[in-house]
Amino acid sequence: MKTALIKIMIGILPTAFSADALEHATIEDNSDNSVQIDKLIEDYDGNYPTIYNIGEVNVQVGDSFDPLAGVYAIDSKDDLTSDIEVSGDVDTNTEGQYVLNYKVTAEDGAWYENSRLVTVSQEPSTELPKSPSKSKEGPRVTFKNVKDVTVSQGESFDPKKDITVIDTDGHDITEDVYIVGDEVNTDKPGEYYIAYTVIDRFGKPNAKAITVTVE
């Protein structure tokens, strides 16, 4: 249901400016997702660099977390991993959601920037990749505190309370978010589905759906 809602909502988002800066695709390979960096560079045809393995992760409270573990950056000429800059902090002793910003700049001045959501919780830590992946992290925004929620019957519910949406370049674009889907009636117990949708700076639609349970 959530996945279908996301697809529907992305389909009706308004058209933003077109971006010819970069076009990332996801390559699915169920047999072996590891590949050597020199092979990635050889196959890379983008005009801008890209960063791999900065997807959302969970860190168990008390565990150590290296924001650069398994993270790689390349362009069509070089391995740019050592040039990655990371800003933001993660307190692994305190539960919560944290946003890290990653940026890499190539020799010709072309750059790529993206945000990563790190959740610190009691759940087991996400196993971080140990090698480059064939899946490229495309332009995407970070939805902070956008997660399933349970409210008591009769309790007020504000779908924008405490949420933050960060664009790929680290800017707060919460005010640009459309919230669509079911109308949550907190007087009526049940499950409601809503989606948060937004256009990023590349003109690409992004969405994340949640379940609101009224009990």
Domain boundaries, the chain: 1-20+139-215, 23-136
Q: What is the pLDDT of residue 128?
A: 83
Q: Which CATH architecture has domain 23-136?
A: Sandwich (2.60)
Tell me how many helices (H) and strands (E) the chain has. 2, 12
Per-residue pLDDT, 65: 95
Mean pLDDT to the nearest integer, 138-150: 83
In the predicted structure, residue 160 carries a pLDDT above the cut 50: yes
- The residue count of the chain comes to 215
Mean pLDDT within 103-108:
90
Maximum CA pair distance of the chain? 59
Among 198, 191, 194, residue whose Cα is nearest residue 214: 191
User: Band of the pLDDT at 135, cuts 50, 70, 90?
Assistant: low
Tokens representing residue 25 in the block: 């695709």
Position 7 scores a pLDDT of: 45
Residue 134's pLDDT band (boundaries 50, 70, 90)?
low
Asked if residue 24 lies in contact with residue 139, where contact means CB atoms within 8 angstroms, the answer is yes
Fold agreement (1-20+139-215, 23-136): yes
Would you say 96 and 118 are in contact if contact means Cβ atoms under 8 Å apart? no
The one-letter amino acid at 24: H
Give pLDDT tens digits for 40-75: 888 887 778 888 888 889 999 999 999 999 898 998
Q: Which of 24-28, 56-60, 67-71, 202-206 has the lowest mean pLDDT?
A: 24-28
User: pTM for the full model?
Assistant: 0.63
Which stretches of 15-170 are DSSP H helices?
37-43
> What share of the chain has pLDDT > 90, as a percent?
34
In the structure, what pLDDT confidence band is assigned to residue 180 with cuts at 50, 70 and 90?
A: confident
Binned at pLDDT 50, 70 and 90, residue 190 comes out as very high
Please state the CATH superfamily assignment of the domain spanning residues 1-20+139-215 in this structure: Immunoglobulins (2.60.40.10)
